[in-house]
Structures are given as C-alpha cells and as structure tokens.
Structure 1
Amino acid sequence: MDPKSIPSNAPEHCPGTESEAAGKSDACSGCANQDVCASGATKLPDPSIPLITSRMTTVKRKILVLSGKGGVGKSTFTAQLAWAFAADEDVQTGIMDVDICGPSIPTILGIASEQVHASSSGWSPVYVQDNLGVMSVGFMLPSSRDAVMWRGPKKNGLISQFLKDVDWGDLDYLLVDTPPGTSDEHLTVVQYLKEAGIDGAVLITTPQEVALQDVRREIDFCRKVGINIIGLVENMSGFVCPNCKTESQIFKPSTGGGKRLAKETNIEFLGAVPLDPRIGKSADYGVSFLDEYPDSPATQAYLDIIERIKEIVDKS
C-alpha cells in the first residue's frame, strides 16, 4: 500500500484509505477522516497493478497453493511440485513465497543462506538450479531466527514488490506459496493478479475434521473472489514404514477425509499422499524427496497428483 494512503493525522491502527475496512474499523472511531474514508471517495486505482500486469506477461501459468490451517504440508508440497516441474530442463519454474511470517521455502529447497541481488531489470530470484528460481522474505532476514512482525500494509507492500520488481524472465509456472487461512496476503495476491490472471489454486489438507473445517473456509474464499479451484490434495493420508513399506493411519478420517469433502463441494480430489518420515528429512536437508526416494509410495502419489495438475492447468 502506498504510504500516502494513510493520512498524517490517522490513528495508530489506521487500515489505510484503500482498505475495504476504511472508515469502518474500530480504529477509525473518532478519526476526523472517518466519514470521507467510509464514503469510498479516497479509493483510487492502485498504480502497482498495471506494472504487475506488465511484469506477469512473461509468466504463462500462475498457481496458488493454499491451506486452511498450518502444519498440513503446504510448503513441502509446493517444493515437490516445483521440483517435479523443473525435472524437465525445458520447463522454467518459479516459487514466490508470500508466507511472510513463516518463510520456510528457502530451507526446504536448501537455499536459506542465499541473498537477493538487484539488477537494472529488478530483483533477481535465488536459483536452486538453472530452471528453478525462488523469491522469499526469508532471504532478506539477518537470521533465520528473526521474527517478522509486520502489520498488513507492510506485508502488502512486499507482495507488490515481489510481483512488480522481481525479474522472473520467461516462466512456464509460477507457484505462489501462501500462509494458512484467508487474510491480507491472500486478498493482496488476488487483487494484484486480477488483471494478469490466476490459473487456479491447489488446496492442501490432512484427513482429520479439524483440518477439513478450515479447508471448507478456503473453498468458500476461492469461490467468493473468483479463483478456479484445481483440486484438493490430502496430505499425511497414512504412515508408510520406510523399511517394510506397509501403511497405517495416523490421522483417522473420522468424517470421510479429503475425498468425501471434495465430493461434497464438487471439486476434484487430486489424490492422497501418505506420510513418509523421509519427507521431513528431505525438507530439513533441502533436497528433493522425489529424487532421493523414488521407491516410496509417497513419491508415486506426488507424481500422479502433479501430472494431473499439469493436465488441468495446461487445458485451461
């Protein structure tokens, strides 16, 4: 958000004149500008949007990876999806990590110690390999232990910079790893990419009802803002023993799991990925699970799901 959109005499928690909450939030009570803000007279088109739309002309497909709650393996899935796309040397892939307060993508991809560099054409992504680039706030922190304590406007400003200032070059796929829930970051990405177009969203859940409840809200969010839902992935769908390869349930799907939810909400069930402890190990060491453990049932599940995502997106 442009700092000029916050009046100099605004209260400390001013949502900003461009916000939907302008003039309506509790912080606006008693502010001299409340009536003007609430009327909508202060809202002007965001000047960043044409710049973002121009920058995104070189990106063929834009896919959001969403989850209703944290801890369901969303970022890990994003990384595996990117590695699978980039396995084809002719496919250029990028990941934009907009999980501002929990940027785990650099660690999962083994590039946490790297830094972003600027050039005449903008910020340069950090490259895992020649055809896989990444942009994350994690590259900008002095230490991986540093907390990101930002209010909404600052988060929105960074996402705007990622979209308009990063020189992605020609990309076949841009994967956007989002934080859990439906908050500022999600609305900002949708707003800024509205003209450039979003090809769809992949939703990640685990089998238990507490996760499915939050995914229902995510489905509702996508439908309200007009994002096409590519499908639903059920992570941690069972436990695979690395030695005997047998599978057992850790999170029992007491209400039918992701497959039933997909049927109830009329979206495609892309598949289920069993929990293999080596997935976590691969993420800790920043290596591709698909390459390291091709014999795992989880690897085959990932590959089947990823192939289906490519089919759906490439047809759209």
Structure 2
Amino acid sequence: MNIQNIQTALEQLPIPQSMRTLGSEKAIDSVAERSDGLYIKLQFGFPVNHIRQALTEQIQTALNPLTNGAPLHIDIGLSVATHKVQPGVNTIKGVKNIIAIASGKGGVGKSTTTANLAVAMANMGARVGVLDADLYGPSQPTMLGVAQSKPEQQDKKLIPIIAEGGIQVMSIGFLVDTEQAVVWRGPMLSQALQQLLFQSQWDDVDYLFIDLPPGTGDIQLTLSQKVPVTGSVVVTTPQDIALIDARKAVDMFQKVNIPIFGVLENMSVHICSQCGHAEAIFGSDGGKNLAENLGVPLLGQLPLSLPVREAMDNGSAVQMQASQPAVAEIYTQAAWQIAQAIADKGKDFSSRFPKIVVE
C-alpha cells in the first residue's frame, strides 16, 4: 500500500456540494497504515455532518483500487477558527464567529430565518448560539422552545439557555415581562445589547447568530461599532417595498465594513396545502435580483409554508426540519454557504498577542 499515492488521491477528491477539494482545504490531517486497515483523519474548518456520508462513500470509491480492499477507518473532525472582524473591535470570549441577520423592515421572516439557520448549522455539527437583539419584540425564546426558561447567573455572568439541538440562547425575553412594552431609548437599548452579549457565559460557540430588529437604528449602530461581527445576512421578500428597505440594510453594512455573506429571499411562493398549487404572492425573484446587483450569493428562496409558521409558534424548529426535508435542505444549503464564506475569511490572531501594560 503506497501512502503517498493514497495521499495524492485524497487531495484531489472534491468535497460534496462545493467547488472545493480535500487538498484545497488542507483537510487531510493524517494517513496511516496499521495492521487492521488504513486510518484517515480529516479536519475541516466548517461543519460537514450533512455531507459526511457522501464524503465517506467518495473516499471509499476512490481508494479501493489503491488499498487492495483493506478496511478504511475514517475520522472526520471539526475545528472552526475565529475569523477577522471590523477594525478596532475585540473578539468575545467563548464566541468564534458572529453572523448578523438583518432586514430593512419587519414582517419578512428575519427571526424565523435566524432560528432555522441556527438549527441547520447545529445539525451540520457546529456549536451554535443565538442572541435575540430584537429588544422590542424578542421572539427567539418562543421559536426555539425555551420561552419559560430563566438564565442562571455564575460569577456575575448569565448562563445562556440550552435549546433543543444544543443551541445556546440569550434574549431580553428571558429577563423582562414579554407582555409589557419595552419603552427604552437608544442608549438603553445599546447598553442592553452589550450586556446580553458580553456578560453571557458563551460556551465555545463556533457561530453566534444575532437576530437584529428591523431597520438601521441604534442597535445596528452599536453592532457595527462595539460588536465583533464576522459578516451578515440580509433577509427580504420578493416584494418591491421590502427590497427598498433591504437595500438600506445592505448600505448600512457596507458603510461600516461588515461583509455580506448573501441574501435570503423569504416567502418566495405560497404553496397550497390542499392542492399543491404554487403562487408568487409577493412577486418573483426580487431577492435574486438584489443579490445579483450586489454581487453576493442568493442563499436560498424559501416558500411561505404553513408547517414553518406552526413550528415557530410552537417552538419546534428542530422537529419541523426533521419532518420537512425540502424546507430543511434550503436552510442547510444557506448555512453551508455561510460556513464556507466564513472559512474563506482571514483568521483573527489578536487573542494570541500579549497585552502590553505601561506602568
């Protein structure tokens, strides 16, 4: 068995559902022949649970002629790095990468998108968190099924609630009466966001999704100036009026040097639950055209779906994705594109630099 030939064959193997190879991603950690077969250890900088089976089968097919039928032992690991954020902002202990989910206006499904992207990323094998920054209308506790929970405190830090799928959740909805109006001005909102983020004891989160309120106001400004954001996703419907506001969100991120990973178009079509007829109630391809004009990916086009709406109201996003594979696949592919885009960014090494103290 020629290990060098095996290494070369592995490096040329394409990673399923991508334009990448094992060699281009430097994913081959080790290849070793032992008495009971060939041991291959792979290490990825993005989660790959959703393609694990396809990848394993590709490796077995490619190496079979080179191993004389020896058993293969394939270990696939994940090590997500902390990537660069906007200049002058320090990263947060316990959080590697932050993705801001934004829209220019309300009612386009931004919170639904945040919850389902988090579930999809967790299903792909990542450690995931959700910060509900929509302080006027916190909905993540309900959508992720933890509305009745209260975070504990430890060493003056809040311990995020663990939702199904291992998702760490923090929201103002845990701390205030959600039936009472939040009548806070901008500075109070900004302070609350920073406290929720910086005073929470995040536990080794690979990707933290921040569900932003609609618009481009104080919360968004605080996010761009104080919070280390790896990148953003803009959610819109195909409707012209939603696209006008979505462009404002895009413009805001561009002005504060936060990259946009893509546009996700929600409510693309309505599919009748009785007859299956599909109708573009809000117009066609608005999000797609916006993404093309911006030169960013269209992460997906999601239907207006009764099971999704029911799951968000019932706090059963995990079960919904398990029972609705077509919808789950759209969210998975969107999360997959986001994870790859993050992996392509430069790494952040600021935590390795010693702090200089002048006495």
Report the TM-score, using the length of structure 1 for normalisation. Answer: 0.76
Q: What is the CA deviation profile of residues 145-197 of structure 1, one whole-angstrom value per residue up to 9, with x for unaligned ones? A: 1111111111111112112211002111111110001000011112112xxx3
Is 1:278–1:289's contact at 8 Å kept on the other side of the alignment?
no
Q: In the alignment, which residue of structure 2 is the partner of 1:7? A: none
Is 2:132–2:172's contact at 8 Å kept on the other side of the alignment?
yes
Is 1:111–1:128's contact at 8 Å kept on the other side of the alignment?
yes
Q: In the alignment, which residue of structure 1 is the partner of 2:213? A: 179
Q: In the alignment, which residue of structure 2 is the partner of 1:264? A: 293
Shift of 1:238: 0.2
Shift of 1:134: 0.6
Shift of 1:86: 1.6
Is 1:279–1:289's contact at 8 Å kept on the other side of the alignment?
no
Is 2:190–2:218's contact at 8 Å kept on the other side of the alignment?
yes
For residues 211 and 295 of structure 1, the distance between their equivalents in structure 2, rounded to whole angstroms, comes to 27
Q: Please, which of 207, 222, 238 is the counterpart of residue 238 of structure 2? A: 207
Q: Please, which of 97, 118, 130 is the counterpart of residue 61 of structure 1? A: 97
For residues 190 and 116 of structure 1, the distance between their equivalents in structure 2, rounded to whole angstroms, comes to 26
Q: What is the CA deviation profile of residues 39-97 of structure 1, one whole-angstrom value per residue up to 9, with x for unaligned ones? A: xxxxxxxxxxxxx9777143111100000100000000100011112224x52111111
Q: In the alignment, which residue of structure 1 is the partner of 2:283? A: 252
For residues 129 and 200 of structure 2, the distance between their equivalents in structure 1, rounded to whole angstroms, comes to 11
Is 1:237–1:251's contact at 8 Å kept on the other side of the alignment?
yes
Q: In the alignment, which residue of structure 2 is the partner of 1:78? A: 114
Matched, 1:276 2:305: yes
RMSD: 2.0
For residues 297 and 111 of structure 2, the distance between their equivalents in structure 1, rounded to whole angstroms, comes to 21
For residues 214 and 107 of structure 2, the distance between their equivalents in structure 1, rounded to whole angstroms, comes to 9
Alpha carbons of structure 1 residues 68 and 292: separation in structure 2 relative to 1, 3 Å: same
Contiguous gaps of at least 5 residues in structure 1: 1-51
For residues 171 and 296 of structure 2, the distance between their equivalents in structure 1, rounded to whole angstroms, comes to 30
Aligned sequence identity (%): 37
Matched, 1:133 2:164: no
For residues 78 and 292 of structure 1, the distance between their equivalents in structure 2, rounded to whole angstroms, comes to 14
Shift of 1:243: 4.8
For residues 187 and 234 of structure 1, the distance between their equivalents in structure 2, rounded to whole angstroms, comes to 24
For residues 269 and 165 of structure 2, the distance between their equivalents in structure 1, rounded to whole angstroms, comes to 35
Q: Which amino acid in 1 is paired with 2:143?
A: I
Shift of 1:264: 1.6
How many equivalent pairs are there? 258
SS of residue paired to 1:217: helix
* Aligned positions of 1:103-114 closer than 5 A: 103-114=138-149
My pick for the range that moved more, 121-130 or 199-208, is 121-130
Q: What is the CA deviation profile of residues 86-135 of structure 1, one whole-angstrom value per residue up to 9, with x for unaligned ones? A: 224x5211111111101011111111111121111611111104731111
For residues 274 and 331 of structure 2, the distance between their equivalents in structure 1, rounded to whole angstroms, comes to 20
Q: Which amino acid in 2 is paired with 1:164?
A: F
Q: In the alignment, which residue of structure 1 is the partner of 2:250? A: 219
SS of residue paired to 2:203: coil
Q: Which amino acid in 2 is paired with 1:92?
A: R
Q: In the alignment, which residue of structure 1 is the partner of 2:11? A: none
Report the TM-score, using the length of structure 2 for normalisation. Answer: 0.68
Structure 1 runs, 4 residues or longer, greater than 6 Å off: 52-55
Q: What is the CA deviation profile of residues 214-267 of structure 1, one whole-angstrom value per residue up to 9, with x for unaligned ones? A: 0111111011011100000100000123355442211123xx511111112222
